Structure 1
């Protein structure tokens, strides 16, 4: 039975939608909601939304990458792994991880994030704990398969979830805060592994077993907390007032358009958030959109080095001439560098509305780092170690910049959800590649691995430049077409269904 308040809310939203779609002038946020402090509201959202999802990703990346720390504590020796068996255990994670990313976002579109995300988190925490009791290669392989399947929904799910709360100019900083957890996870993983490994012999278990058990149990505990703390969507957020809810819906609905030129042209408005339909045609739009595939390959070119470093950084440092405990600790500042550069770059990217120029600098930094590592690995270990800072400081922020690029340039919530899942599904296949780049037979210098990653980041710089030029050309064509009246024949419904192909939609560069 509907309450008076719910009826009033429905009527106010309908009036709002009718008003903004029937007039030629689209009011600004300040004009429409003079009593809402946008900056204060944004800070309120940040406190409610960002910390929890960041913690979820911290646990996720910690659980998928701690196998590298466990390995230098004796995992391969105790399980009798030979040849490429350790690398294969890393690889199979990504087979199931990538397979379930798109289906997971389809499910999330129909379920509440506060329910779906904690459920999958309990599942992967359980898988992680069970990895601490495996006794052979096949047991480890099966656990990694299930870990990939259960973790698959988090990254594409949160990437989509954030677009339901934040406008384009606010997006990259929040995504960066979320993904900076990957760098923090690398740092904490080294520190935790150093401390937990001291438990070797407790209850008759090896130190590497305790790494899996304790971190898996911690994940389940965080999942329980997440069930009570994750907010769902603006329209039903209890921490917002009625006017703040309408403010956010209006803001997101008309985000991404040139307000005055669109109104002057036809009075039809198109944005990121207009389309909330689950129609299959929007799934096909995502699959057929070239930018989904371009960003997917860009993610491959950045994520391959990220995954290979996250898995093998302790081994790379150890083979520079350090003992295991020191290698664990020396990995910490390198990982923190990735987290810091990610957040700093995102702040300036959102503040000044630029994506590609900073992304290009990221790839240049990684290129420099790999050249340093490739040429000095066996002769000057200190230079190789310094090169790791350039690599992580470039690849981590580049990954976030690409994801943000796709988020802000895909219109329609359902299309955006699927486009993000596609890009991440293909991009995360790079984890399977990264897991096999640094081979045991290439120690101590790992020259082949450094050379392969150098090729990846060089290709990334090239493709990013091509994508930027394509976006810029599309914006120019739309401006010229609007000025010439090329789109005057289109109906409101046709423009509505065009999403980011609308002549009123401007790609961010």
Structure 2
């Protein structure tokens, strides 16, 4: 749910960062965009754009299509009210369905099904094996089929599985239901994350109930912008255009920093939207995808650890099962508030790394308290530490996902990169499912220690990514000044994607 909240604020086009801070203030006359100010969201801005018939063509800012008749703020509100409630509810139901087994455990699930040894942990593990394995293929498939067909079918099927889960009689039944739940939930989160990236620019960026919701969703779930019936023709054209060419605000500002001048070639507009197989390899071979995968694990392992085992940890503090269930609710409420507040601030500042750093430090602090305190003598400190960990975990989850989306250019490469991050990333649930063992209760040294290790690795990956991004942005500026790309055609630069000299990494 927090991931959907964050995307509400991932949409301001002209939020200059890093190298662009100074140049965006000085550059008032160099191009049609900058002469009208850098506030792309201002209703009074006149967007002097021209049209094109080739979605992969390149254009200069002097010939952009005219969308001055579009009230962008009203359009964004229309997108928000049409997309966000549905996606928020779907993801909330998804997270509840996969995580409610933790609540069922302290209510007697293991005893009712006569689960022995590690059988409960295996039921948790099998979900993540199928869930993670199928996320990359489902995101690639999403580029070839209607989202309303793929995702809605998945929702209906996992709703059926959840209904059947309530009827299981033995270990094998539960194991099969968890495996099927992983299969059918796989398309949702990476699909929605990628899907939002085609509507918003890179800076804006339970059983029977689930079955019913899935059936209803078919009638309200929109497909890609060009097919969205709740938009008129001009709005569809503009939504597609603004997402496709948002990266060029950076490119034009960087061109001015390099002092290329108006009489030289303008930065190529947009990104390559073709579905060439080379972009699959480009995603897998890109260092940033693997760096973000480490950060994803630094968030995901603690996240699933809390969602699956917080009821058990609280139950071990001496509370009854019912009271332990109730005491988990304030933790999630605090995490939700933190997620919303950070999303609002992040949308104003346009930076990512400082928020992730703060959240990682909160998570690390919480787990250090958990591993140091004896819950039998310090139950209040243990309970407070769960708040601190959740306060760091849940807000950072959407930011990590959105940050990679911001910094990968090319629709197909982005789809694969996000599937890679979320797909392989969700294998982290296998760790979370097996590190909190019954024999380690109530201190759970092994579980808390492994959580600390993953967060520490995430901190190292974060710092490394920040410095590489900063260095890459500076290198692009110097190469432009030296004329390194003078012999490159517009098409060559377009196909470079985020390696283009006109693409600046968000910090």
TM-score range, shorter chain: 0.7 to 0.9
Gaps of 5+ in 1: 1-11, 172-214
Are 2:238 and 1:247 equivalent residues in the alignment? Answer: yes
Given candidates 345, 350, 353, the residue that maps to 2:347 is 350
Contact 2:58 2:490 in 1 (8 A): no
How do 1:69-218 residues align onto structure 2 when only pairs under 5 Å count? 69-171=103-205, 215-218=206-209
Given candidates 35, 38, 58, the residue that maps to 2:69 is 35
- Give, in angstroms, the shift of residue 349 of structure 1: 1.4
Cα displacement string for residues 438-487 of structure 1 (whole angstroms, at most 9, x for unaligned residues): 11111122232112212211221121111111111111100111111111
Aligned to 1:60: 94
SS at match of 1:379: coil
Q: Single out whichever of 422-431 and 336-345 deviates more from structure 2.
A: 336-345
- The structure richer in helix per residue is 1
Contact 1:319 1:445 in 2 (8 A): no
Are 2:325 and 1:325 equivalent residues in the alignment? Answer: no
- Give, in angstroms, the shift of residue 488 of structure 1: 1.0
Aligned to 1:442: 440
Contact 2:291 2:465 in 1 (8 A): yes
Aligned to 1:483: 481
SS at match of 1:35: coil
Aligned to 2:36: none
Aligned to 2:398: 400
Q: Given the two structures, how large is their TM-score scaled by the length of structure 2? A: 0.85
When residues 37 and 421 of structure 1 are mapped into structure 2, their CA distance, relative to the original with a 3 A threshold, is: same
SS at match of 1:321: coil
Cα displacement string for residues 227-275 of structure 1 (whole angstroms, at most 9, x for unaligned residues): 011111222222222222222222112112323544845224244xx22
CA distance in 2, matches of 1:475, 1:270: 18
Aligned to 2:273: 276
Cα displacement string for residues 89-125 of structure 1 (whole angstroms, at most 9, x for unaligned residues): 1011111111111111111111111111110111111
Are 2:197 and 1:223 equivalent residues in the alignment? Answer: no
Aligned to 2:290: 293
Q: Single out whichever of 389-398 and 231-240 deviates more from structure 2.
A: 231-240
CA distance in 1, matches of 2:283, 2:313: 39
CA distance in 1, matches of 2:505, 2:415: 18
Contact 1:67 1:311 in 2 (8 A): yes
Aligned to 1:25: 62
SS at match of 2:496: helix
SS at match of 1:435: helix
CA distance in 1, matches of 2:85, 2:63: 34
Are 2:346 and 1:308 equivalent residues in the alignment? Answer: no
SS at match of 1:150: helix
Contact 2:58 2:494 in 1 (8 A): no
Aligned to 1:211: none
Count of paired positions: 449
Q: Given the two structures, how large is their TM-score scaled by the length of structure 1? A: 0.85
SS at match of 1:465: helix
When residues 78 and 169 of structure 1 are mapped into structure 2, their CA distance, relative to the original with a 3 A threshold, is: same
CA distance in 2, matches of 1:357, 1:40: 31
How do 1:435-474 residues align onto structure 2 when only pairs under 5 Å count? 435-474=433-472
Are 2:455 and 1:417 equivalent residues in the alignment? Answer: no
- Give, in angstroms, the shift of residue 15 of structure 1: 5.5
Are 2:422 and 1:384 equivalent residues in the alignment? Answer: no
CA distance in 2, matches of 1:151, 1:492: 41
Q: Single out whichever of 470-479 and 123-132 deviates more from structure 2.
A: 123-132
CA distance in 2, matches of 1:15, 1:270: 14
